[in-house]
Structure 1
Amino acid sequence: MIWRLLVLLGVSVVLLMGVECRIREGKTLTFRRTQHSDSQGRMRRRPRRDASSSPGTSKPSRGPPFTSCRLLLTPAEHEVLDDNTHETGFNGDDGSYVILTWVGDDTGVVLVLSTISGPVHPLNEGGSTRLYRSTDYGKSFRDISQSINHTFIKEEFGVSVGPGISVILTADTPVLNNPGGIIFTSTDAGATFKFIQLPFHLAQPIAYHFSNPDYLVALSIDGGLWLSLDFGAWWTKVHDGVHSFSWGAGINLFFSCSRVDAVEAEERGDLILKRTKDLGKTFTIIHEDIYSFGYIGAFLFFSVMEDPRSPRVMYFSSDQGDTFSQALLPSASTEQFYSILDGDEDMLFLHVDNPGDTFFGTMYTSDDRGILFSKSLERHLFDGHRKSDFTNITSLRGVYLTNKLDVDGRIKSVISFNRGGTWRPLNKPENTNCGDKIKSCNLHIHGEHSRNNHIVPMVTLSEPAAVGLVIAHGSVGDSLSSSQHPDVFVSSDGGYNWRGTLRGPHHYTILDSGGLIVAVEAHREGQVKTIKFSTDEGQCWKLYNFTDQPFFFAGLASEPGTNAMTVSVWGFRPEEDGQPMWVAVTIDFQSLITRECNDNDYEEWLAHSTEGGGSERNGCVLGVKETYRRLKKQSVCRNGRSFVVKKKQSPCLCTREDFLCDFGYYRHVNTSECVRQPSTANKTYELCLNGEEDELLTEGYRKVPSDRCEGGFSPQLIKQTVKACGIKPSPAPPAKSTSSVTHFDTPREKLVLILVCAGAVIIVLIAIVSAVIVVRRVIYRNRTPIYRFANLRLQDDENSTTVDHESGTSSNSTACQQDSDDDLIE
């Protein structure tokens, strides 16, 4: 029912933390106070800049614990942790925030920015910043504010960390009083900073090149595209009227810009997509009339408005824009949107919204060219805040988790173990019960829309180094519920089986490549002093009081990559003068878990396998069996920083499960067989690519991208007949009537005439063939490849929709940053 959806999606049920925590670029966290009070009521609630959230409190823990395994710290263990727990206070004011950033890999360097109100320096109109630096993973900090002249650093730009140990701080400077903005750059992990006056004012954060930290690109507030090849020391404007940009592969740089004669500098739907592959020396127009674009994995994608009154269509390129094609997808009207959910070098997940405020759409998966898309999941949830619950489970290959909206308005979780080929409900956790009244008992996971509505403080967490480990908030029943108390659940096998581990909402993180999990409960009053940790993937927990003075919780901070064994608990504590003090308590668990793991601490684990499964296909996913060497749950030791995931792979025989249904086909209910949609029966697809038209005959299957099966099931995928296309022969001129008739009386005359005519015909044919070749070369040299599927009908189960694809041409945290999913909406 629609009222259920509105209640769930439109109402902020609870606020689980008093501070907003945002993760930036996988290495940076921002903590901002939104509400705080003490017993005397001296602290007041301040309005937030982002007014989309309302403050509240979390519900108290309910129900018995999932397990009675609660281990007490021994006095010796408590003393060890006390000796290796370090507390640091940072100056702040009643409206401050802090930005925490790790610099480099395994450098131990952490930078913390804390704001201070009021002008302190001529550059600081509106505030200043305290800058702190740690070289021991956050155990101690040194104030280095003088290295940036106490200059106020922009909150929304904050700190940018590039490849290696490079850092950029962007100052907040008034536009009227300064010719350009100010940045501070560091090439030694923040030990020293260089002051740079920019010749322009930044419109958004400076973007690093993926691999070369010296290559920077920036967009000014007047639409100028600027490049620096020496880490910001010198800047050159390379283009005007730019709307957005993105680095591609190598040194390819893509950007959208307005037309030279355009009145509006940012006329959406009337932009030009360009590319430079020589750092701004020359430019190539890829396509005109685009609405927005992005780059993810190995794919360049953009939406095009071919007519101001027509819906948008999607184009993709897998070769940096050299060639591109229109994707075989439904077009999107002004009330719909496209959203790239995830992507890599092999395939894309894309959501196409349904018309109207339905809060759902259809998820598609692409082939390795980003052209042929197959329907993966219908009624995929995409809520009113434009939030998707789609999650890549990075701890096991091919696993994805998301939520769908049933016709009755209920939200249910589904999981795929073969990259979106099939989806199924999550199994009920082994230590939970639904009750007799619940007919369908499954686990349902809270995603991004629940976090956005403050139902849970965190979404699903997984790490590639922690093989099979997944931590998530969820509830057990027939659907996801906002009224039911969210608890923490853990899976050790990539999402096949789950168990309840912690009652109530928590903040959690993974350390030591999965050998250690830490969690802090989201208390109702917001103050914390206890941390929970587990060395057996959440089966048993120990509790440690890390401070005698509780403080308002802000978030957990640990070094990216899960190799570290230190974690920092952030928050703020009211002082006697009524002003708060930012607090970071860093706990080093390496002092407690001292034994290095040996071979006896590890086990061989066949991924995607079932217990007792003796079949040849047991463990086969995406055409491969993968056996991992991973830590035993009962082993209490540390993997260490040098830990590397080891696995053995062996190919499997192909079955229908290794194939997706081709375009125009669907998987029959309760079978793995692909059958043709009724509307496309006995029809041949026509394919026009690079000037040649192919007759595409298909058996309805295509291999899942990245699937590496061998032998076995092998459908006849494509049988091509090459024909000319794109050039239609002119109609023959009508025969002219004449009264003059030539007669050939003798055989010799006839023979001579035949030879002469034959020679002329041969010459004419050679000329025609040569002309056709020349014309085709001229036409197809600049011709956009077009995939044209004649009379193809996309079958929608509820209301069939005819989609015309007669014309067209051709996204961790990930690379689509300038044109986000929301930019593909309006």
Structure 2
Amino acid sequence: MNWTLLVFGSVYLLVLVEDAFVQGKRDARTLTFSRTAGGHSRRRRDTWTGQARFTACKTPLSPKDQEILLSHTHETGFHGDDGSSFTLTWVGDGTGVILVLSTLSALSDSFYEGGSTRLYRSDDFGKSFHDISHAINNTFIKKEFGISAGPGNPQQVILTANLPFTETLGGVILTSMDAGVTFRSVQLPFQPAQAIQFHYQDPKYLVVISIDDGLWFSQDFGNSWSEVHEGVHTFTWGSGITLFISSSPKGTVEAARRGELILRRTQDFGQSFATIAKNIFSFGYIGGFLFTSVMEKLGSPRVIYVSSDQGDHFRKAQLPSATTEQFYSVLDGDEDMIFMHVDNPGEDTYFGTIYTSDDRGILYSKSLERHLFGGEGKSDFTNVTSLRGVYLTNKLEEDGRIRSVISFDRGGRWRSLNKPENVDCPENSKKCNLHIHGEHSHFSGITPMLPLSEPTATGLVIAHGSVGDSISAARPDVYVSGDGGYTWWGTLRGPHHYSILDSGGLLVAVEAHRDRQISSIKFSTDEGQCWKTYNFTSHPIFLAGLASEPGTKTMNISIFGYRPDDDDQPMWVAVTIDFEHLLTRECGEQDYVKWLAHSDYDSDPETDGCLLGYKETFRRLKKLSACRNGRGYVVIRQQRPCLCTIKDFMCDYGFYRHENSSECLPQPDFLNQTQDICLDGEQEDLQTSGYRKIPGDKCEGGFSPPIRNDAFKNNCGKDSSPTSTNLQTGKSPGMLVLIVVCTCVGVIGLIITAALIITSRRINCRQRSPSYRFSALQLQEDDLCVSYESSPNAKRNGFQDQEDSDDDLIE
């Protein structure tokens, strides 16, 4: 058996599992874990007879520094606590408050069979914990979605009690407005079916779906509640106080399968609702774009409609059609552009094509072919948040190998990753590049962590990877890039848990072992060039994971795990190390240097560093400056516009840029076909030179592609939308899925049960709904992240599956 700790958002969960692999599913607000013993049999991974060799710098820790760290290392043992799960929640940014919920239960999916809860609180970043179970009268709190914290800085906390189910009694919540010092018990007029969700800006506004599909609102932080709608399937916050819901009076599950849901909108907390679309299968909201999925004719492929004005108008997304054997997936998005994956035709192909949209989210252009997207709904697509425009992902080559590619211009071009200078290629390797392990490897247990980057740590990326022809099945090593992915450095041998502290001035890492205990932590003050090792305990522990305050401002790191006690029972242990007393010198101006992002230092000075139309020069810490940025550190940058070049343009609708080429060519499947679409009431025959400026590009003057003026327009009626179209509905003959998959920035969570609870930063996406194959949602933007809890349905291979289902939008 193994204890597993995962980190997502401000909530942490710890779970005891019996197998060597833990696999998880993120279903809008869900991350569930089940056991598996296999990897990806349909995909080929090379196993080298000899791994790539690299030299890493290790420097000894002086006795004085060892003594300093020992005096600021704090260990808490949760003695006598045999909880089956732990949930750790950070409350407020910079407050140092952590709540730990330990739950021991004997619950089935449907019946209350007793249990116990202990609640611990720390107000010093985890250096000490105090049992405050008396503050909640020892109330038994739900294990699955028992604890929620307000977004951002507020100190609001909600605990959801687990009570015997009756049809007449409602639920009970305990609310706190002082970060868990005191709690107030509130009797609910309903039974919540999910975690109560905060508004992403104002935590006094709460919303939740009840077990009988009612939508309930509170405008006074849970003191009073009102039911505002019945038969609700899902809900999603839009901008401001706009809330979108899908509903059906006929029963939400069957209505969703048949595409009979109604999309409605309220902008006054449920006092009134406006119907904005009918006959939809699902919907989602990301980056200001509202998506709906519909079947326009019985048995026809389902299509996507997009609105950029909160549902006032919808337009049909211009993408290749997807049959019921395929799916769409929104990989990432912001107010300028959407990344969309379209699955390749055929069953279990494991790859598809990435398309990027225009700034309306309507016209899509081919960005990357043979993009890897596994049958488990896992994509390796990663937004490198420490540098604008950078994305990492993996593609499945025709020979079955998985290779990594990177884009520095928001998907305009993709290239292989350069081999790190300090790494030798494996023998018999025809090509030698770095390949990054993403969600697929994490899902199958090959790596304990995904690639990590933070907006406050400019250019810094940490990831597991391997060097050679393709991703290797051997144990991966840790690689670091300090320039956003242009160059890499082999830094640590074998899998590790790692974290970024002090806005990138400090990196910490702990070896990941399933079968043996650990007693040391490694740290680096030069972006992973050299590492020192600190033995933090004389009593080793089985590692569950690392946890630090959300963001990168802190210099405290907590190591969670367990060690067997005298009765051979696991005892939970939290060890917190404060590095602030080791790096005591505050950084001065002499410790920083000006750094031009995206520069190769060999190009024309006028164009060097130009990306998406402008240059960015950052003030960043010198690698050899052993000082601390501190909590007051802010990223300082200067921007200067550039002249336009062909690199500032992406291929237009119906065109694509072949790999290693700057020319946009017509897509083969568009040859001899008209490209008629209906926009703003006019049918446009798209006559184009094949180029359009990348959304968000700020270049001025310079290159301009030729424009063809022979396009004609015909009136085609009003805007086409799901509301105005007479849609036929019927039972789906197959499955079509649309998923949103991306990484959350600045969000950390520690998971240790069969489900994950996450605090919403800004946008609450999908609520309770039937979970389907490939169903997942992670939202990537600068300061928002969403992940939710779902109801426990039947599980199969780690996924909550429903036969003949459709979950084809970013719920």
How would you bin the TM-score normalised by the shorter chain? Answer: 0.7 to 0.9
The alignment's TM-score, normalised by the length of structure 1, stands at 0.82
Across the aligned residues of Structure 1 and Structure 2, the Cα RMSD in angstroms comes to 2.9
Deviations 1:120-161 (A, max 9, x none): xxx985212111111111111111111112222222213211
1:401 is aligned to 2:384: no
> Of 48, 53, 60, which residue of structure 1 is paired with 2:36?
53
Runs of 5+ consecutive residues of structure 1 not aligned to the other structure = 1-16, 38-47, 728-778, 787-810
Deviations 1:582-627 (A, max 9, x none): 1000000001000000001001111111133344221111111111
Structure that is richer in helix per residue: 1
Contact 1:688 1:785 in 2 (8 A): no
Aligned to 1:109: 97
Q: CA deviation at 1:544?
A: 0.6
Aligned to 2:561: 571
Deviations 1:375-409 (A, max 9, x none): 11111111121100000000000000000001111
Task: Report the Cα distance in structure 2 between the residues aligned to 1:677 and 1:782, rounded to whole angstroms.
Answer: 27
What amino acid maps onto 2:225 in structure 1? W
Q: CA deviation at 1:76?
A: 1.2
1:323 is aligned to 2:307: no
Deviations 1:183-219 (A, max 9, x none): 1111111111111121111222112111011111101
Identity %: 61
Q: CA 1:49/1:643 → structure 2, altered by over 3 Å: closer, same or farther?
A: closer
SS at match of 1:824: coil
Aligned to 2:6: 22
Q: CA deviation at 1:278?
A: 1.5
Contact 2:53 2:425 in 1 (8 A): no
Q: CA 1:64/1:347 → structure 2, altered by over 3 Å: closer, same or farther?
A: closer
Q: CA 1:20/1:55 → structure 2, altered by over 3 Å: closer, same or farther?
A: farther
Aligned to 1:774: none
SS at match of 1:80: helix
The alignment's TM-score, normalised by the length of structure 2, stands at 0.83
Choose 530-539 or 715-724, whichever is displaced more. 715-724
Size of the aligned set, in residue pairs, is 717
Aligned to 1:34: 17
Q: CA 1:565/1:65 → structure 2, altered by over 3 Å: closer, same or farther?
A: farther
1:86 is aligned to 2:74: yes
Task: Report the Cα distance in structure 1 between the residues aligned to 2:120 and 2:351, rounded to whole angstroms.
Answer: 45
Equivalent residue runs for 1:619-768 within 5 Å? 619-667=609-657, 670-677=660-667, 685-694=675-684, 696-716=686-706, 719=709, 725-726=715-716
Aligned to 2:133: 145
Task: Report the Cα distance in structure 1 between the residues aligned to 2:685 and 2:642, rounded to whole angstroms.
Answer: 31
Task: Report the Cα distance in structure 2 between the residues aligned to 1:582 and 1:629, rounded to whole angstroms.
Answer: 42
Aligned to 1:189: 179
Aligned to 1:134: 122
Q: CA 1:67/1:233 → structure 2, altered by over 3 Å: closer, same or farther?
A: same
Q: CA 1:55/1:692 → structure 2, altered by over 3 Å: closer, same or farther?
A: closer
Q: CA deviation at 1:442?
A: 0.3
What amino acid maps onto 1:32 in structure 2? V
What amino acid maps onto 1:401 in structure 2? L
SS at match of 1:147: helix
Contact 1:125 1:173 in 2 (8 A): no
Task: Report the Cα distance in structure 2 between the residues aligned to 1:782 and 1:268, rounded to whole angstroms.
Answer: 19
Aligned to 2:375: 384
Task: Report the Cα distance in structure 1 between the residues aligned to 2:602 and 2:686, rounded to whole angstroms.
Answer: 43
Q: CA deviation at 1:783?
A: 9.6
> Of 418, 429, 433, which residue of structure 2 is paired with 1:427?
418
Contact 1:413 1:425 in 2 (8 A): yes
Of the two structures, which has the highest relative contact order with CA contacts closer than 8 Å and spacing of 6 or more? 2
Choose 264-273 or 525-534, whichever is displaced more. 264-273
Contact 1:162 1:213 in 2 (8 A): yes
Aligned to 1:738: none
Q: CA 1:503/1:825 → structure 2, altered by over 3 Å: closer, same or farther?
A: same
Aligned to 1:457: 448
Q: CA deviation at 1:97?
A: 1.4
Runs of 5+ consecutive residues of structure 2 not aligned to the other structure = 21-30, 40-46, 726-741, 746-761, 770-774, 778-805
What amino acid maps onto 1:496 in structure 2? Y
Task: Report the Cα distance in structure 2 between the residues aligned to 1:380 and 1:118, rounded to whole angstroms.
Answer: 43
Aligned to 2:547: 557
SS at match of 2:193: coil
What amino acid maps onto 1:128 in structure 2? S
Task: Report the Cα distance in structure 1 between the residues aligned to 2:143 and 2:402, rounded to whole angstroms.
Answer: 36
Task: Report the Cα distance in structure 1 between the residues aligned to 2:260 and 2:708, rounded to whole angstroms.
Answer: 38
Deviations 1:80-133 (A, max 9, x none): 1111000011256556111111111111111111123579xxx98521211111
Choose 445-454 or 266-275, whichever is displaced more. 266-275
Q: CA deviation at 1:324?
A: 1.1
Contact 1:33 1:95 in 2 (8 A): no
SS at match of 2:688: coil
1:473 is aligned to 2:464: yes
Contact 1:299 1:318 in 2 (8 A): yes
Q: CA 1:124/1:195 → structure 2, altered by over 3 Å: closer, same or farther?
A: farther
Aligned to 1:768: none
Contact 1:695 1:720 in 2 (8 A): no
Equivalent residue runs for 1:82-481 within 5 Å? 82-91=70-79, 96-117=84-105, 125-163=113-151, 164-176=154-166, 179-259=169-249, 264=254, 267-355=257-345, 356-435=347-426, 437-481=428-472
What amino acid maps onto 1:366 in structure 2? S
SS at match of 1:243: strand
> Of 480, 499, 507, which residue of structure 2 is paired with 1:490?
480
Deviations 1:478-499 (A, max 9, x none): 00121x2210000011000011
Q: CA deviation at 1:348?
A: 1.0
Task: Report the Cα distance in structure 2 between the residues aligned to 1:68 and 1:689, rounded to whole angstroms.
Answer: 57
Max Rg structure: 1
SS at match of 1:527: coil
Q: CA deviation at 1:175?
A: 1.9
Q: CA deviation at 1:821?
A: 3.8
What amino acid maps onto 1:429 in structure 2? P
1:611 is aligned to 2:595: no
Task: Report the Cα distance in structure 2 between the residues aligned to 1:450 and 1:68, rounded to whole angstroms.
Answer: 24
What amino acid maps onto 1:238 in structure 2? V
Q: CA 1:721/1:476 → structure 2, altered by over 3 Å: closer, same or farther?
A: closer
Task: Report the Cα distance in structure 2 between the residues aligned to 1:606 and 1:72, rounded to whole angstroms.
Answer: 33
Q: CA 1:427/1:436 → structure 2, altered by over 3 Å: closer, same or farther?
A: same
Contact 2:52 2:426 in 1 (8 A): no
Q: CA 1:613/1:716 → structure 2, altered by over 3 Å: closer, same or farther?
A: closer
Deviations 1:705-724 (A, max 9, x none): 11111101122557597856
Task: Report the Cα distance in structure 2 between the residues aligned to 1:566 and 1:261, rounded to whole angstroms.
Answer: 49
SS at match of 1:99: strand
Task: Report the Cα distance in structure 2 between the residues aligned to 1:780 and 1:50, rounded to whole angstroms.
Answer: 44
Task: Report the Cα distance in structure 2 between the residues aligned to 1:601 and 1:53, rounded to whole angstroms.
Answer: 48
Task: Report the Cα distance in structure 1 between the residues aligned to 2:205 and 2:701, rounded to whole angstroms.
Answer: 46
1:500 is aligned to 2:490: yes
Deviations 1:227-253 (A, max 9, x none): 111111111111111110011001110
SS at match of 1:52: strand
What amino acid maps onto 2:87 in structure 1? I
